[in-house]
Amino acid sequence: MRLELIAVTPTGLESVVAQELEDLGIKDRMVENGRVTYRGNWQVLAQSNLWLRSADRILIKLAEFHARTFEELFVGVSKIPWTDWIPSGAQFPVSGRSFDSQLESVPACQKIVKKAIVEAVKKRDGGDWVDESSDITLAVEVSLFKNRATITLDSTGAGLHKRGYRTLTGEAPLKETMAHALVHLSGWTAEHPLIDPFCGSGTILIEAALKAWNVAPGLKREFLAEKWPIVPSDIWNDAREEAFELINDRKELRLVGYDINPEAIQLAEAAVKSAGIRGAIRFENKPAAKMRITGDNGFIITNPPYGERIGEQKDIDKALRELGAHLDRFDDWNLFVISNHKWLEHQIGRKADKLRKLFNGRIACHFFQFYALEPKTPAKFDGNLSNR
């Protein structure tokens, strides 16, 4: 069965997800704001859920049509072969959103879509009501943009950042999908040492280890589409068996995480154990100022405290100055920091070689990229953090 698939992405990470799809062998893809659209079969659907490291979820596009009125919306939804998709007893909740469209009321649009699906299922099953008591779920979404309605099914369920290895989190956790994206954007590979001086629960380092050992991020979780009768059951079994065979945990890694909070270190060590990568990362309960840098051509990738929720601003400023001092002493190391801290370059002591605007959750941030062997000129903050 040929499917039109949509990888929903965090803002600013569309190109990262597009590259991940290319690595899976998918050449024909279209990059848009917040999504990458591509085509594939059931095998591609399973592989996308198992392997994409920076996407939020995988949707199946069922239809797209013009809809200025509720009647047009109802007719368009009714043309979809719902009985091919929805088995008897399955749940089919409907979510929705609308932007710059005549049909502004999202709840009303959801009701129209639900009604159209109910009518199709009732016609097939007979009776005056629809049973939705089974544990099979097909989550439907109606999205309206400039009077175009797009109807999709969510194949993923809980977001793809839910890898399954982090059951407990500390304060201000970084999503796994964003953590991987930072590693990807830095250009780090397993041949280089990697340090996170503000490691928290260890997410950046864990994602680096999973990537280096070629461990599929979705290997330890389930997806909504696994229970759909329309999807051949052997698709998921085959995809998982292939993923297990592709693991390469013989690579020696030099990954070290530091954090001043002992509880954070305990969470990080528990997450490493749960992820099945024990021995890949060393954690130390020390402040960033006491981290030891060993080896050449290394990488520091980190998400320091932002100040709004944890930590005092003066302590953050001091930690950033200490980080800059390390960069001065070891000029063959690269530094990558995601932060909303506008004075970060000033505290580090040099301008970033590159900036990329990202969102850590709902917090607008910049990904500051300081490359090795670059001139170290003192940075004077001018208040302008436009992408450069």
Q: What is the pLDDT averaged over residues 88-109? A: 96
Note the pLDDT of residue 289: 82
Would the pLDDT of 125 be above 70? yes
Cα-Cα-Cα-Cα torsion 247, 192, 181, 197, nearest 10 degrees, comes to 120
Amino acid at 166: R
Note the pLDDT of residue 1: 83
What proportion of the chain, given as a percentage, has pLDDT over 90?
A: 76
Q: Longest Cα pair distance anywhere in the chain, in angstroms? A: 76
pLDDT-derived band at 387, boundaries 50, 70, 90: very low
Query: And the tokens for 344?
Result: 């970060």
Q: From the options 2.60.120.200, 3.40.50.150, 3.40.50.720, 3.90.230.10, give the CATH code of 176-213+248-370.
A: 3.40.50.150
Q: What is the location of CATH 3.30.2130.30 in the chain?
A: 3-154
Note the pLDDT of residue 373: 60
Note the pLDDT of residue 318: 82
Would the pLDDT of 168 be above 80? no
Task: Tell me the Ramachandran region of residue 346: left when phi exceeds 0, alpha when psi lies from -120 to 50, beta otherwise.
Answer: alpha
Query: And the tokens for 322?
Result: 């200490």
CA atoms within 13 A on the CB side of 137: 14
State the CB neighbour count (10 A cutoff) for residue 362.
Answer: 5
Would the pLDDT of 105 be above 70? yes
Note the pLDDT of residue 328: 80
Note the pLDDT of residue 275: 93
296 class by beta-carbon count within 10 Å (0-12 exposed, 13-18 middle, 19+ buried) = exposed
In whole angstroms, give the CA distance from residue 108 to residue 118: 15
Residue-averaged pLDDT of the chain: 91
Note the pLDDT of residue 233: 83
Q: Are 297 and 192 in contact (CB under 8 A)?
A: yes
Q: Are 152 and 6 in contact (CB under 8 A)?
A: yes
In whole angstroms, give the CA distance from residue 352 to residue 349: 9
Q: Are 274 and 168 in contact (CB under 8 A)?
A: no
Query: Under CATH, to which class is 3-154 assigned?
Result: alpha beta
DSSP label of 201: T
282: enclosing H helix or E strand:
strand 281-284
Tens digit of each residue's pLDDT (9 = 90 or more) over 317-340:
888 888 888 888 888 999 999 998
Strand 35-40 to strand 3-8: parallel, antiparallel, or no bridges (unpaired)?
Answer: antiparallel
In whole angstroms, give the CA distance from residue 120 to residue 177: 37
162-171, 319-328, 365-374, range with the lowest pLDDT: 162-171
Tens digit of each residue's pLDDT (9 = 90 or more) over 29-52:
999 999 999 999 999 999 999 999
249 class by beta-carbon count within 10 Å (0-12 exposed, 13-18 middle, 19+ buried) = middle
Q: What is the pLDDT averaged over residues 297-301? A: 94
In whole angstroms, give the CA distance from residue 349 to residue 322: 10
Q: What is the location of CATH 3.40.50.150 in the chain?
A: 176-213+248-370
Give the three-state DSSP class for 180: helix
In whole angstroms, give the CA distance from residue 198 to residue 112: 49
pLDDT-derived band at 341, boundaries 50, 70, 90: confident
In whole angstroms, give the CA distance from residue 20 to residue 292: 33
Q: Are 343 and 380 in contact (CB under 8 A)?
A: no
Residues 6+ apart with CB under 8 A from 27: none
Q: What is the pLDDT averaged over residues 272-300? A: 91
Note the pLDDT of residue 362: 84
Would the pLDDT of 310 be above 60? no
Full-model pTM: 0.91
Tens digit of each residue's pLDDT (9 = 90 or more) over 191-227:
999 999 999 999 999 999 999 999 999 998 999 999 9
Query: And the tokens for 196?
Result: 């996170």
Q: Tokens 């088995």 appear where?
A: 87
Note the pLDDT of residue 381: 47
Would the pLDDT of 170 be above 70? no
Give the three-state DSSP class for 329: helix
State the CB neighbour count (10 A cutoff) for residue 180.
Answer: 26
Q: Are 195 and 188 in contact (CB under 8 A)?
A: no
Q: What is the pLDDT averaged over residues 140-147? A: 97
In whole angstroms, give the CA distance from residue 135 to residue 152: 20
146-160, 179-193, 229-243, 308-322, range with the lowest pLDDT: 308-322
User: What single string gives the DSSP state of each residue in 96-141?
Assistant: EEEESSS---HHHHHHHHHHHHHHHHHHHH-SSS----SS-B-EEE
Q: What is the pLDDT averaged over residues 16-31? A: 95
Q: What is the pLDDT averaged over residues 336-365? A: 90
In whole angstroms, give the CA distance from residue 344 to residue 373: 19
Tally of residues, the chain: 388
Would the pLDDT of 343 be above 90? no
Phi, then psi, of 207 in degrees rounded to 5 = -65, -35
Give the three-state DSSP class for 231: coil
Amino acid at 336: F
